[in-house]
Amino acid sequence: MTEVNSFKKGLKDGIPICLGYFSVSFAFGIFAVENGLTVFQATILSLVNLTSAGQLAGVPIITGGTLPELALSQLIINSRYSLMSVSLSQKLSHNAKLRDKLLISYANTDEIFAVAVSQKGDVGKRYMWGLIMLPVIGWTSGTFIGAVAGNILPAMVTAALGLAIYGMFVAIVVPVAKKEKATAFCVAIAIALSCAFKYVPVLTKVPTGFTVIICSVIAAVILAVVAPIKAEEEVTEDAQQ
């Protein structure tokens, strides 16, 4: 079995992820400061969490919600990583010991996962270290610079950058919804529920963190019952995200 274990190749493969993360986390930095976090808080939040959707949902809960709401929302929003971790663990070569996995799992993001599992053969720890390094730097420094520059940039530009993270979400969802009818339905149900919780009088009282959980779990459960996937496809489909 071939094995990819070059630190240098890892670094190189991480460059495009790093650039993408930098631009998106720049917008996150602006968002975090607007929501009442300090520059330092926004930066350390990005460094230790390394997750776009979770952080975006987490910031308003940190400033205005409760701890159970925060824990539960992170658990649901980030639950997709558990599957990615299972499949990445089977892709790692034997040179990755438990302590290596403890580090690698910290940086198992959608994009890092996708690049790692698309390699031919097993991936070694040295490759993973290289792959992880630049995206972590990009995500953290982008947040820092966004948090600082949010006040300096013209209001018009910061307003426009507010859409960057959502643009990234759209970039992840749409190509899959285009190929899979079931996923398109899932997206439609999720959006309908989400709008209901935003505009239907009684439902608007539900805290945002819970809204995300309720809507996404209902949509995913409905589709898991109505259109269960074939077990074999799962890993490869996730790899293409």
Partner 1 sequence: MPNSKFFIYLLVMAGVTYLVRMIPMALIKKKIKNRFVLSFLHYIPYAVLSVMTVPACFYATDSPVTAAVGFIIAVIAAFFERSLIQVAALSCAGVLITELIIMLIK
Report the site for partner 1 in 129-188 (rule: CB under 8 A).
155-157, 159-178, 182-183, 186-187
Q: Which of 137, 153, 220, 239 binds partner 1 (CB under 8 A)?
A: 220
Q: Which of 8, 12, 15, 83 binds partner 1 (CB under 8 A)?
A: 83
Does 20 contact partner 1 by CB under 8 A? Answer: yes
Q: Which of 3, 7, 80, 239 binds partner 1 (CB under 8 A)?
A: 80
**Radius of gyration for the alpha carbons in the chain, expressed in angstroms and rounded:** 19
* CB distance 135 to 105 below 8 Å: no
Q: Binding-site residue total for partner 1 (CB under 8 A)?
A: 106
φ/ψ (deg, to 5) at 92: -70, 140
Interface pattern 185-214 for partner 1 (x via CB under 8 A)? -xx-xxx-xxx--xx-----------xx--
The minimum distance between CB 151 and partner 1, in angstroms, equals 17
Q: Which amino acid is at 144?
A: F
The H or E element spanning position 123 is: strand 122-123
| Among the residue ranges 6-14, 97-105, 131-139, 145-153, the one whose residues contact partner 1 (CB under 8 A) | 97-105
Pairwise CA distance, residues 239 & 113, whole Å: 7
Pairwise CA distance, residues 113 & 201, whole Å: 40
Does 110 contact partner 1 by CB under 8 A? Answer: yes
Question: Collapsing DSSP states into helix, strand and coil, what is residue 4?
Answer: strand
Interface pattern 37-66 for partner 1 (x via CB under 8 A)? xx--x--xx--xxxx-xx-xxx--xxx---
The minimum distance between CB 8 and partner 1, in angstroms, equals 23
Region of residue 215 (left: phi > 0; alpha: psi -120 to 50; beta: else): alpha
